[in-house]
Structure 1
Amino acid sequence: MSGKSSLAGRSLVDGAAFGPLLHADVGLSFWGGVDPCSGEVIDRHHPLSGQCLAGRVLAIPSGRGSCTGSSVLMELISNGHAPAALVLAQADEILTLGVLVAQTLFGRSLPVLCIGEEAFAALGDKGFARVDGTHLHLFDTQPRDAWTPRPGDVQHDNHSVRLTAHDRALLAGEFGKAAQVAMQIVLRMAQLQGAEELIDITQAHIDGCIYTGPSSLRFARQLVEWGAKVRVPTTLNSISVDQRRWRELGIDPALGEPASALGDAYMAMGAQLSFTCAPYLLDSAPKAGEQIVWAESNAVVYANSVLGARTLKYPDYLDICIALTGRAPLTGCHLDARRKARLHVELPPLANLDDAFYPLLGYHIGALAGSRIPLISGLEQYHPDLDDLKAFGAAFATTSSAPLFHIAGVTPEALDPAQVLDGPLPVTRITLPDLLLSWQELNSARDPGVDVVSLGNPHFSLSEFAHLARLCQGRHCHPHVVLAITCGRAVLEQARAAGHIAVIEAFGATLVCDTCWCMLGEPVIPPAARNLMTNSGKYAHYAPGLVGRKVHFASLAECVDAACSATASGRLPQWLQTAALLENPAHV
Structure 2
Amino acid sequence: MPELSIHARSLVAGDAQGDLLYADVGLSFWGGVDPFSGEVIDRHHPLSGQIIAGRVLALPSGRGSCTGSSVLLELILNGHAPAALVVAQPEEILSLGALVAQTLFERGLPVVCVGEEAFACLRDKHYVRIADGQVQAFDLPPDDGWRPAPPDLARQLARRSGVALNDGDRALLEGRHGKAAQVAMQIVLQMAELQGATELIDIAQAHIDGCIYTGPASLRFARQLLDWGAAVRVPTTLNAISVDQRRWRAQDIDPAFGEPASALGDAYMAMGAQMSFTCAPYLLDSAPSAGEQVVWAESNAVVYANSVLGARTQKYPDYLDICIALTGRAPLTGCHLEQGRRATLLVEVPAPAGLDDAFYPLLGYHIGALAGSQIPVIAGLERSAPSLDDLKAFGAAFATTSAAPMFHIVGVTPEAATAEQALGGEPARQTVRLGRQDLLASWRELNSADSPELGLVSLGNPHFSLSECATLARLCQGRRKHREVALVITCGRHVHEQARQAGHVAALEAFGAQFVTDTCWCMLGEPVLPVTAKTLMTNSGKYAHYAPGLVGRKVHFAGLAACVEAACSGQASGELPAWLNPATPCQGAA
TM-score > 0.5 by shorter chain: yes
Aligned to 2:565, which of 558, 561, 566?
561
**1:271 to 2:273 alignment:** yes
Aligned to 1:467, which of 463, 466, 471?
471
Task: For residues 266-305 of structure 1, give each alpha carbon's deviation from its aligned partner in whole angstroms, at most 9, with x where no partner exists.
Answer: 0000000000000000000000000000000000000000
User: Which 5+ residue runs of structure 2 have no aligned equivalent?
Assistant: 586-590
Q: Distance in 2 between matches of 1:124 and 1:543?
A: 29
Partner of 1:526: 530
Would the aligned equivalents of 2:353 and 2:584 in 1 still touch at CA under 8 Å? no
Q: Distance in 1 between matches of 2:256 and 2:201?
A: 40
Q: Distance in 1 between matches of 2:176 and 2:475?
A: 57
Task: For residues 188-246 of structure 1, give each alpha carbon's deviation from its aligned partner in whole angstroms, at most 9, with x where no partner exists.
Answer: 11111111100000000000000000010000011111111100000000000000000
Q: Distance in 2 between matches of 1:545 and 1:345?
A: 29
Pairing of 1:121-132 with structure 2 (within 5 A): 121-132=120-131
Task: For residues 104-158 of structure 1, give each alpha carbon's deviation from its aligned partner in whole angstroms, at most 9, with x where no partner exists.
Answer: 1111011111001110011131111111141111111121111112222333566
Matched pairs, number: 580
**1:510 to 2:494 alignment:** no
Would the aligned equivalents of 1:204 and 1:234 in 2 still touch at CA under 8 Å? yes
2:582 match: secondary structure: helix
Pairing of 1:2-41 with structure 2 (within 5 A): 4-41=3-40
Bigger drift between 113-122 and 417-426 goes to 417-426
Partner of 1:450: 454
Partner of 1:237: 239
Q: Distance in 2 between matches of 1:250 and 1:415?
A: 50
Q: Distance in 1 between matches of 2:211 and 2:431?
A: 40
* Displacement after TM superposition at 1:159 (Å): 5.7
**1:412 to 2:414 alignment:** yes
Pairing of 1:125-524 with structure 2 (within 5 A): 125-154=124-153, 155=156, 160-422=162-424, 423-425=426-428, 426-524=430-528
Q: Distance in 2 between matches of 1:161 and 1:17?
A: 29
* Displacement after TM superposition at 1:417 (Å): 2.8
Q: Distance in 2 between matches of 1:580 and 1:257?
A: 52
Matched to 1:38, the amino acid is: S
Would the aligned equivalents of 2:491 and 2:516 in 1 still touch at CA under 8 Å? yes
**1:80 to 2:79 alignment:** yes
Would the aligned equivalents of 2:161 and 2:189 in 1 still touch at CA under 8 Å? no
Matched to 1:502, the amino acid is: A
Matched to 2:186, the amino acid is: Q
Q: Distance in 1 between matches of 2:499 and 2:527?
A: 26
Matched to 1:480, the amino acid is: E
Aligned to 1:544, which of 543, 548, 559?
548
Aligned to 2:574, which of 570, 574, 585?
570
Q: Distance in 1 between matches of 2:132 and 2:73?
A: 20
Q: Distance in 2 between matches of 1:343 and 1:385?
A: 23
Matched to 1:58, the amino acid is: L
Partner of 2:588: none
Partner of 2:62: 63
**CA-atom RMSD in angstroms:** 1.2
Would the aligned equivalents of 2:408 and 2:415 in 1 still touch at CA under 8 Å? yes
Matched to 1:20, the amino acid is: D
Would the aligned equivalents of 1:14 and 1:133 in 2 still touch at CA under 8 Å? no
Would the aligned equivalents of 2:352 and 2:584 in 1 still touch at CA under 8 Å? no
Would the aligned equivalents of 2:5 and 2:134 in 1 still touch at CA under 8 Å? yes
Matched to 1:539, the amino acid is: Y
Moved over 6 A (4+): none
Partner of 1:586: none
Task: For residues 70-106 of structure 1, give each alpha carbon's deviation from its aligned partner in whole angstroms, at most 9, with x where no partner exists.
Answer: 0000000000000000000011110000000011111
1:365 match: secondary structure: helix
Bigger drift between 415-424 and 304-313 goes to 415-424
Task: For residues 26-60 of structure 1, give each alpha carbon's deviation from its aligned partner in whole angstroms, at most 9, with x where no partner exists.
Answer: 00000000000000000000000000000000000
* Displacement after TM superposition at 1:349 (Å): 4.3
Q: Distance in 2 between matches of 1:158 and 1:187?
A: 10
Q: Distance in 2 between matches of 1:484 and 1:540?
A: 15
* Displacement after TM superposition at 1:421 (Å): 1.5
User: Which 5+ residue runs of structure 1 have no aligned equivalent?
Assistant: 582-588
Partner of 1:53: 52
Cα separation, partners in 2 of 1:559 and 1:58, compared to 1, 3 Å:
same
Q: Distance in 1 between matches of 2:543 and 2:191?
A: 30
1:51 match: secondary structure: coil
Matched to 1:366, the amino acid is: G
1:11 match: secondary structure: strand
* Displacement after TM superposition at 1:528 (Å): 2.1
Task: For residues 163-191 of structure 1, give each alpha carbon's deviation from its aligned partner in whole angstroms, at most 9, with x where no partner exists.
Answer: 00000000011111111110110011111
Q: Distance in 2 between matches of 1:476 and 1:38?
A: 42
TM-score of the two chains, using structure 1 as the length reference: 0.97
Q: Distance in 2 between matches of 1:550 and 1:561?
A: 19
Would the aligned equivalents of 1:341 and 1:420 in 2 still touch at CA under 8 Å? yes
* Displacement after TM superposition at 1:580 (Å): 10
Q: Distance in 1 between matches of 2:172 and 2:231?
A: 13
* Displacement after TM superposition at 1:418 (Å): 2.0
Would the aligned equivalents of 1:111 and 1:133 in 2 still touch at CA under 8 Å? no
Would the aligned equivalents of 2:296 and 2:316 in 1 still touch at CA under 8 Å? yes
Partner of 1:585: none
2:29 match: secondary structure: coil
Matched to 1:248, the amino acid is: A
Cα separation, partners in 2 of 1:190 and 1:499, compared to 1, 3 Å:
same
1:578 match: secondary structure: coil
Would the aligned equivalents of 1:436 and 1:579 in 2 still touch at CA under 8 Å? no
Q: Distance in 1 between matches of 2:529 and 2:108?
A: 36
Q: Distance in 2 between matches of 1:124 and 1:546?
A: 28
Would the aligned equivalents of 2:351 and 2:381 in 1 still touch at CA under 8 Å? no
Q: Distance in 2 between matches of 1:151 and 1:365?
A: 41
Partner of 1:92: 91
* Displacement after TM superposition at 1:14 (Å): 1.3
